[in-house]
Structure formats: structure tokens, C-alpha cells
Amino acid sequence: MSAAEVPLEAQREVIGVVGVGWVGLVTAACFASRGHDVWAMDVDATKVESLSRGRLTIHEPGLPELVAEHAERLHFTTSMEVLANARLLFCCVDTPPTYSGDADLSRVRSVVDQLSGDSEQALVMKSTVPSGTGQSIRRDLPSLAYVSCPEFLKEGSAVDDFLNPDRVVIGADTGDEWAADAVAAIYEPLGGELVRTDVASAEMIKLASNAFLATKISFINEIANVCEEVGADVTEVARGMGLDQRIGRSFLNAGIGYGGSCFPKDVSALKQLAGNSGYHFQLLNSVIEVNELQKRRVIGKLTKHLGSLVGKRIALLGLAFKPNTDDMREASSLVLSARLQGEGASVAAYDPVAHEGAAGLLPSIELASSAEAALQGADAAILVTEWPEFADLDWASLAGAMSRPLILDGRNFLDPEALRAAGFSYEGIGRGSTGRARD
């Protein structure tokens, strides 16, 4: 269905968004781009002020253009009251992990506490919450309709993911069908399969999806570690495995572990959710442990080449948890830097966009002005984040600028043949000596 064919009522839906972090801002901008009037609320006055002037608070490709283009339909506010006009209130506040590993629902609770329970309004939960949260909110505010509509966008391709979803999950319980219909109507024009289900199942779909993807990554990382023992190449193994449609090629890139604001938190939240209700989710314990160890294995590889790391200069290429984002949450670079410094090395790093976020988290590393500056005089380079520009560096001249031309490719991103031809000792993750560039 094209935008012009969308029922008029759905086109004109006034939408409220609470919390303008990654998910909230993308949701607000994308719905505005589809013709809806959007009121986006956040408690952070500085953020609201900055967004109202068109200055974005995150690095996300395509988002500044979308916000600028649809500014007349996009209103930022610190006031919850102005959201009273919207039938659908999308809750997009964050649910970070607590010390116990459970999801911290305090921000969700504070949104709920500010709602009047207007029977004409629906709370549409985009924040990732444990199964059972919807039921408990519904108990506290019985007149308010409640829809679980988890978000699956990925940072770095968030706008595209939002506007072209694989599927849209809409969970509602008896009595709230009107709200589920309203949510379905505004998503329908985006395409993607609509999965209508109950609230608890919708909540579980989100947690189970992220836990499964994290499991895929930890699985391929363990395969990579075995490949190193037996002389196989994990990129070849993933290629061969991925052609089986039951397996699929995506999320089989071995590396130095997953990070970000979702996988670590959601895997832990699901493990705790199961544990709190008496079920020991054994598999997820291993997924988490493998991921933690994977970040540290790099140190062993370095010492194999360099011996003691005391006084060595190690260059990190990339700091963000993945390319096309400045997000440093749970980035592998954090553990890696701390371990390198713990071994007595000095760390110089370059990331195209993450320096501002990294400065506070990694105060004792050198943030270099370019990849070349980070690599100057280094005893080894570790590719941490596969920013496309790192493939285009003049590696032959960089080999001469380093103290020792050694590269550990933590994302199997670079072309081993080209690096070796440029004079480097190249080591990837789980690759034999003939490793191919990653698919």
C-alpha cells in the first residue's frame, strides 16, 4: 500500500512519543515522514532544546535529513500534558540492566505514573521489557489500553530498518483490539508482516529474538576458536553453513564479541526473567561467558607475537560497538583497552565518530586525530570496529610507519592477502593462513 492509499484516519493519527533516545527519535522522525503529527517528550530539557533547534544528539545515518525535512510535523517537548491529544503514546524510554541483571523498569514506571488512565488512550510499549510487564501495567491502569510493539531496529541502519521492517509485532489482550488496530493501521504502509498476538508473547518475541542472535554470534565465535586449533577458516565455514536456509548467513560473523545497548542487556534480562521464575536458562549463561572471553582472547594473540606487553604501544582502529554509530555502550573496546593497560601497554585509538563518548569512558587512552596518527610507532594494531574507511587506508605506507607491522583483525574485515602483500603479519579471528575477506 502506498502512503496515498492509507486510510485517511491512519494518515492523520496524532502520535505521542515518550523518550527521545535512539528508538524514540527514530520512531518520531519516521512517523512524521509518513505524514503523522508527532509530539515527542523527554525529561532531558537540554536534549529537547537541542532537538527543537534541529541539532541531533546521536549519530545515525539519514536521521538528520529526516528530522529537518519533516520538522513542521515534529514537536519536541518536556511536558507530558501536551501528549494528551495523542491516542497512541509510544513508550521509548530505556530499560538498562540493574545490578542483578534484571531490566530496570523505573523509567517505564515513571511514564505510567504520569498517565491519567484515559480510556481513549493506548500506551504502546516499544521499550524492551520482560514478559509480564504489560499485564502488570494493565492491572495498575485498567482503563488504559495497552499494546506491546517491540522495536527491532539496528543502530547504524535504524531509519531504513524502521521504514522497511521484516515484521511488526503487535501484542494486545482482550478489550484492547481497537488500539492494536490503530497501531496496525499506521504500520501497514511500511510493509512487513504484521504479527498480531497477545502481550506476553509479543514481549517474549523481542527478548527471544535478541537472545537468539546473540547465541548465533557466540556460537560462531566458538567455532572460530576451534578453527584456530584445527587450521580451518571460519569465514569459509560460515559461508558454507549460511547457504543452508535453515541456518542463514547473517549474524555468523566471528569477531571480538557483541556489544551495544541491546544484546548484553537483553540476554541478561531474559536469563534473569527465567531464573526469577525458577527456570535456569543454561544456554544463555554460556552465550554471555563466551562473549566475555572473546573480548579477552585478543590479549593472548598479541603476547604470542610480542611477548610481554609492558611499554608496548597498541593502536585500536575503531571504538564504537559497531560501525555507523557513535554508541560506546558495552563496546568491546572498553574491555580491550582496560586489559591492554592492565598488561602495561599504552593504547592509542581512532574512531571516526565516537571520540566524544569515548573520552569520558576511556580517560587514560590517547584519542588520535586519524588512523594514521594512532598507528604511528605502534607495535600492533587491533581492528575493533569495521568502519568502511579502514579498508581504504594506505596499508603499505602504514606498515613502514609502525614499529612492527602486526595487525589483529578483530572483525575479519580486512583482506589478509592484501595486508600480507603490504608487509603485515595478519591475524584474524578463526582464520587459517589463507583467510578470505569477509562476505
Find the shortest distance in angstroms from Cβ 331 to ligand UDX: 7
Distance, in Å, from the CA atom of 111 to the CA atom of 115, rounded to the nearest integer, reads 7
Q: Which is nearer to ligand UDX, 77 or 210 (CB)?
A: 210
Residue 16 backbone dihedrals phi, psi, to 5 degrees: -105, 140
Residues catalogued as catalytic:
262
39 vs 90, beta carbon nearer ligand UDX: 90
CA distances for 70 relative to 31, 60, 145, 421, angstroms? 10, 16, 29, 49
Q: Which three cell numbers stand for residue 257?
A: 564479541
Residue 41 · residue 77 · CB < 8 Å: yes
DSSP 3-state assignment of 97?
strand
CA 341 to centroid of chain Cα atoms = 26
User: Which residue's CB atom is positioned nearest to ligand UDX?
Assistant: 262
Q: Minimum distance between the CB of residue 369 and ligand UDX, rounded to whole angstroms?
A: 25
Written as nine digits, the cell of 398 is 602504514
Torsion of CA 94, 97, 102, 104, to 10 degrees: -40
Other CB atoms within a 10 A radius of the CB of residue 120 amount to: 11
Look at the alpha carbons of 419, 420, 422, 428 in this order and tell me if their dihedral is positive or negative: positive
The x, y and z cell numbers of residue 209, run together, are 529474538
Q: Convert residues 270-309 into a mask of x (bound to ligand UDX by CB under 6 A) and - (unbound).
A: ----------------------------------------
Of the candidate residues 26, 205, 252, 290, the single one contacting ligand UDX (CB under 6 A): 252
154 near ligand UDX, judged by CB under 6 A: yes
- Shortest spacing between CB 257 and ligand UDX, in angstroms: 7
Residue in the structure block whose three cell numbers are 527465567: 274
Candidate list 90, 258, 350, 390; residue touching ligand UDX; CB under 6 A: 258
Site track for ligand UDX across 360-379, x = CB under 6 A = --------------------
Using CB under 6 A, pick the residue from 263, 387, 413, 426 that binds ligand UDX.
263
Identify the residue among 60, 151, 233, 379 touching ligand UDX (CB under 6 A): 151
| Residue 94 binding ligand UDX, by CB under 6 A | no
Applying CB under 6 A, the site for ligand UDX has a residue count of: 19
CA distance 127 to 115: 17
Query: x/- contact string, 308-327, with ligand UDX (CB under 6 A)?
Result: -------------xx-----
Site for ligand UDX, rule CB under 6 A: 151-155, 210, 213, 217, 251-253, 255, 258-260, 262-263, 321-322
